Amino acid sequence: MIRKFGAGLLCFCLSLLLIAGCNMPQKVTVPPTPTQEELPEDTPVPTETPTPLPVREKLVFLLSDEVPGVTESLSRAMEQVCAAYDCETAANEDAIPQDADFAIFAKAPTALSSLTQRFPSTRFVVVDEPTAVYDGVWTIQYDEAFLPFLAGLATASNAYDWRSAGLLPNDSLLWGTHAEEAFANGAHYMCGNCRPSLSPYVEFPLVISLPGDSSPDSWSSQFDEAQRSFIYTAFLSDEAISEALLQKMVTLNVQLLGVSAPPEGLEGNWLATINFDWADTLQQIISRTLSGEMQGTQPLILSITPGALSEEFSEGKANVLRRAYDLLLSGFLSPYTATKEYTE
């Protein structure tokens, strides 16, 4: 009896365990999360959007034998500007390519208005006095007498007792046909009749004018004549500069200015270098155009670089030149007239 009861109890317990096992939750298999397909080991993973290369502007230069001074200046500027842009020259207006971004004329063409209509996407740059404004036309304001006028003013402003001189070529493309007159007028703008207070009583500045291809001895002997009046400051054109003349100037303690920096080792008595920066002027026009301006007037940029005697040629004297240049550009001052601005 007891055995039967025990056997039945065992069977009952096994039945309960079997039923419970059937109701246990089954193990859930989680599907794998999809992942990005792996790149080959040698494939670089981009970290940022690549910057496209800038488009190089195309500059077309139309030079002219009618204005040799401007043509020479633009030719020098091309050597600097064309390192950053695509440049070419064109013989005439008909040779301007349709894809030109800028057409730069040494001499303004007579049919400028029609050219702007023929090439609506091209910006035109002309070297001239400000004239009628056309859409798409930039004017570089220029007069060949501006530079010798400013040279005379700079020389007189630093000359003790107004004793100054200029050594200028009389056949230069850069200085023009009025170089001697404009240089003297620039000095007179500073000091009136420029007569010294001590003898010898000579009206300054003294201008030594020779052909540009004159020998160094010719320039030197002419300066010896001028030095009898005790020259204190002199302006040297590139045509006049030679190592022998510069060494003589150092010996005589004459302070110097010029349009180009002096040779290395001979810059001890150099006050400043004064010139116009044609390359920077063209760059300004390009930058203004790319920023949204379509036409206008851009003066030639006046460059004043102090030399070894920079303390003698102060910032105040440089500002006198800048102010005079502004007056020349505005027409209130003429390089062809001896205006006595700083006299009583």
**Could you report the per-residue pLDDT of 198-231, keeping only the tens digit for each?**
888 899 999 999 999 999 999 999 999 999 999 9
**Homologous superfamily assigned to 58-141:** Response regulator (3.40.50.2300)
Host H or E run for residue 344 = none
**Could you report the per-residue pLDDT of 309-333, keeping only the tens digit for each?**
989 999 999 999 999 999 999 999 9
φ and ψ at residue 134, rounded to 5 degrees: -110, 150
pLDDT number for residue 198 = 84
Amino acid at the residue 196? P
pLDDT number for residue 266 = 84
This prediction's pTM: 0.81
To the nearest 10 degrees (0 to 180), the angle between helices 315-330 and 179-191 is 120
**Could you report the per-residue pLDDT of 244-267, keeping only the tens digit for each?**
999 999 999 999 999 999 888 888
Q: What's the chain's Rg over C-alpha atoms?
A: 39
**Homologous superfamily assigned to 146-269+308-330:** Response regulator (3.40.50.2300)
pLDDT number for residue 338 = 77
Reported as a pLDDT band with limits 50, 70 and 90, residue 15 is low
Amino acid at the residue 7? A
Segment among 99-108, 122-131, 186-195 with least mean pLDDT: 122-131
Tokens of 83: 């390192």
DSSP 333: S
**Could you report the per-residue pLDDT of 229-242, keeping only the tens digit for each?**
999 999 999 999 99
Beta bridge partners of 60: 88, 103
Q: Are β-strands 296-299 and 137-141 bridged in parallel, bridged antiparallel, or unpaired? A: parallel
pLDDT at residue 46 is higher than 80: no
What percentage of the chain's residues is helix, strand, coil (to nearest 5)?
35, 20, 45
Tokens of 293: 């301006």
Give start-end residues of each CATH 3.40.50.2300 domain in the chain.
Answer: 58-141, 146-269+308-330
Q: Coil, strand, or helix at residue 313?
A: coil
Taking residues 142-155, what's their average pLDDT? 95
